[in-house]
Structure 1
Amino acid sequence: MSQASKLLGLEIELRVPDEIRKLGPVVYIANHQNTYDLFTVSRAVLPRTVSVGKKSLKWIPFFGQMYWLTGNILIDRNNKNKAMGTIAATAEKIKQKGLSVWLFPEGTRSNGKGLLPYKTGAFRTAMQAEVPIVPICISNLHGKVKLNRWNNGKIIIEFLPPIAVPQGGREQIREITDQTYQIMSEKINQISEESGSPYPEYKPKS
């Protein structure tokens, strides 16, 4: 799947520090931009990593079946009780099988709206599994891909140092979530400028 980025005319520059490759199980979090993420972020998935996706993915012909059979986790986002159970089940899977999990804390594709506010699920998962968060920052992809153009520029994917998630209540989790959002926002803006395509600015609804 990752080789499809070449068909999209994109050059992928992957920046993974050696310390990240040597880590054990973690919760990876990344910004989620559009459907092209499937062909770009897959270049950054490290060994023994699964993702958590919405249940409807299983109905995509071929891909859905492969996604489920390769150990990825499907959740029902419309059922909050099931979603809470999925956090506990995902944390247990990390502990028992020594897997890392990839999550998108925005919860949905931003589609050019900037970096959306983060939900706390990924951080609660890391807390329950007692593993760190590893931020993954992806430069701007919105509006870059023109399917009739061979060269659509460069995408930078950069891993940041791990962030410990302390045991705590709702306020502590919200605090570490907001701090991580700020760190990632600054890095995403930096690498987007570097790649020649500024990241859209998020504008909250008034």
Structure 2
Amino acid sequence: MQLLYTIWCAIYFVLLYLILFPVQYVFLQRDEWKPWAHKVNYIWGRLFFFGIGMPIRVDYRYKPDPEQVYVFCANHFSYLDIAAMGVIVKNYYAFVGKSEVKHIPLLGYMFAKLHVQVDRDQPNSRAYSLAKSIRTLAAGRSIMIFPEGGIRAKHPPKMHHPFKDGAFIMAIQQQVPVVPITLLNNYKILPDTKKVRFHWYPLRAVIHPPIATAGLTQENVEWLKEETYRIIDAELTSKQTVIA
């Protein structure tokens, strides 16, 4: 049954995007239409989780203002995290993610048009992506990033430590709040293993209150990085957290 469920999730994921892509393609052709392309991703995510029978349970300890600019930072244990972030955060944002995604048919086209790419094999790529992210924030659009720098944790739910600096450099440079997000059980739903299998659990997440950066300088990057890590890690390791 688990194999059949995995096959259904994969087929439904692809078919749903094939149906929605023509609409998204139109919205990707002009910058002023791109927020609507982002909304297509939200609709895609909602329909996907509904179609696979997976409830989404988010503890909104803070509801992000759709008019405010943020740097959203979440733990990253599973490839499901990207789809999850697309439905639990409704703000208009750009992902910062690895450039390999651009090679995926259709999905890669959308990612290249809508988000910020990092090519880990190119020495100047991180500096370029940081500069582009800062310009994105300055233009009034939020950034979504996994500050672990990829799926690097060896023993989830323990995160990789330390976080990368980029998210916190850009937040301080633009004086925008950092919003920590804890993805509680995606690593149980879709583990990062060679044998790809979907497991059924309600998807659970926590959106924490923002950490203000007003008045901070680049000398405070280390503090901001560790504070964000502490907040997410405390939720992951709390004995009061029920994952079921």
TM-score (norm 2): 0.69
Q: 1:148 Cα deviation (Å)?
A: 7.5
In the alignment, structure 2 segments of 5+ residues that lack a partner are 1-43, 191-195
Q: Whole-Å Cα distance in 1 between the matches of residues 198 and 221 of structure 2?
A: 45
Q: Are 1:54 and 2:54 matched, yes or no? A: no
Q: Greater relative contact order (Cα 8 A, min sep 6): structure 1 or 2? A: 1
Matched residue, 2:216:
167
Matched residue, 1:24:
68
Change (3 A) 1:111 1:155: farther
Matched residue, 1:104:
146
Q: What SS does the aligned partner of 2:90 have?
A: coil
Q: Whole-Å Cα distance in 2 between the matches of residues 160 and 18 of structure 1?
A: 6
1:120 to 165, 169, 172: 165
Letter in 2 for 1:168: T
Q: 1:191 Cα deviation (Å)?
A: 8.6
In terms of Rg, which structure is larger? 2
Matches within 5 A, 1:58-97: 58-69=102-113, 71-96=114-139
Q: Whole-Å Cα distance in 1 between the matches of residues 124 and 198 of structure 2?
A: 45
Change (3 A) 1:72 1:148: closer
TM-score (norm 1): 0.80
- How much is the aligned-residue C-alpha RMSD, in angstroms? 2.5
Matched residue, 1:202:
none
Aligned-pair identity (%): 24
Conserved? CA contact 2:69–2:137, under 8 Å: yes
In the TM superposition, structure 1's runs of 4+ consecutive aligned residues that sit over 6 Å from their partners are: none
Q: 1:33 Cα deviation (Å)?
A: 1.2
Q: What SS does the aligned partner of 1:186 have?
A: helix
Q: 1:101 Cα deviation (Å)?
A: 0.6
In the alignment, structure 1 segments of 5+ residues that lack a partner are 197-206
Letter in 1 for 2:216: Q
Q: Whole-Å Cα distance in 1 between the matches of residues 186 and 136 of structure 2?
A: 32
Matched residue, 1:182:
230
Q: 1:168 Cα deviation (Å)?
A: 2.7
2:180 to 125, 130, 135: 135
Change (3 A) 1:16 1:57: same
Count residues with an aligned counterpart: 191
Letter in 1 for 2:119: D
Instruction: Give CA-to-partner distance per residue, 1:12-69, whole Å, 9 cap, x none.
Output: 1123356523561010011111122233222113231111111111101111111222
Instruction: Give CA-to-partner distance per residue, 1:67-94, whole Å, 9 cap, x none.
Output: 222x211122233433123212211221
Structure with more of its chain in helix, by fraction:
2
